[in-house]
Structure 1
Amino acid sequence: MNGIGSRLREERERLGMTQRVFGDIGGVEPNAQGKYESGERTPKADYLAAVAARGVDSLYVLSGVRTPIPQGSLSAEEDRLLGCFRSLAAADQAAVRQLLGSLANPLPRACAPIGGPEHTLAGRLSGK
């Protein structure tokens, strides 16, 4: 499934929302949300404006192209990290992308770490 529906579902999942919650934000019933995501129906502009106000990248939903980050909008830490990333060899950049992709995709609930920060990769690395 390609197109607006799959990208809309991707954005909903990225934001960690159910179809019901997402539909409520857009002012539609859950079955309409499901039809948008399956490609059976196309959302209207007022729906897209409402979900965009809650963090959806509407340019991406419509075109498949992510909205560019405005120049100068990075924090000092983000800018430093980006500089470090850009100085890496291509193979190391690929490894970092792989790691970040793995960290960004949450584990199924049954596999999630138990306990405090010492049970997460970030917690172990920081010594917590």
Structure 2
Amino acid sequence: MTVGKRLKEERKRLRLTQQEMADACGISKWAQLYFEKDQNMPGGAYLLAAHARGVDIVYVLLEHRMELDPSEAALVAAFRAAPQEMRAAMLDNLGLARNVSERAAPVVTFNDNSRVGHMVTTTAAINQSNMQINMGGRKKKKS
């Protein structure tokens, strides 16, 4: 679907005539017609005015709705209102990690309580020919 067709769809969703939409956006009816027929592309000022009138400009330009449909909104609201145990069960049913910490990178703690926060694990061969480990400079001798 083209930008013009989506623009026309949004205008009809808002129950506006071409003249009403043109007036709301500060253009002529003919300019509105040309936008809807894909003979001209709407500019920034037009899109801002259309957005103020209720047009979903992200949908018009990218064919992706900004707003959630009612069932998605209900799901998000229920998830936010649910206790932590229920949230974990919902995520588990969707095949997602039970909590964010399960997806976080592992942290390794050494004997001296120093910690390494970023660690890469793999079973593949790693080329370490250009790897350097800098452990600090030489200590000066006391005189």
What TM-score bracket applies, with the shorter chain setting the length? Answer: 0.5 to 0.7
- 1:12 is displaced (CA, Å) by 0.1
Aligned-pair identity (%): 41
TM-score, normalised relative to structure 1 = 0.53
Matches within 5 A, 1:65-76: 65-69=64-68
Q: Which residue of 2 aligns with 1:50?
A: 49
Question: In structure 2, what is the Cα distance between the partners aligned to 1:51 and 1:68?
Answer: 16
Show structure 2 runs of 5+ residues with no match.
78-143
Counterpart secondary structure, 1:41: coil
Q: Which residue of 2 aligns with 1:60?
A: 59
Task: Indicate whether 1:31 and 2:30 are aligned.
Answer: yes
What per-residue deviation string (whole Å, max 9, x for no partner) do you get for residues 33-85 of structure 1? Answer: 0000000000000000001011100000000000034xxxxxxxx966999xx
Structure with the greater alpha carbon radius of gyration: 2
Question: In structure 1, what is the Cα distance between the partners aligned to 2:17 and 2:23?
Answer: 10
With CA pairs under 8 Å and 6+ residues apart, which has the higher RCO, 1 or 2?
A: 1
Taking only aligned residues, the RMSD between alpha carbons, in angstroms, comes to 2.2
Q: Which amino acid aligns with 1:63?
A: L
The change in CA–CA distance for 1:38 and 1:55 in structure 2 (over 3 A counts) is: same
Question: In structure 1, what is the Cα distance between the partners aligned to 2:75 and 2:30?
Answer: 42
The change in CA–CA distance for 1:79 and 1:53 in structure 2 (over 3 A counts) is: closer
Q: Which amino acid aligns with 1:29?
A: S
- Report runs of 4+ in structure 1 exceeding 4 Å deviation: 78-83
Question: In structure 2, what is the Cα distance between the partners aligned to 1:9 and 1:80?
Answer: 28
Counterpart secondary structure, 1:49: helix
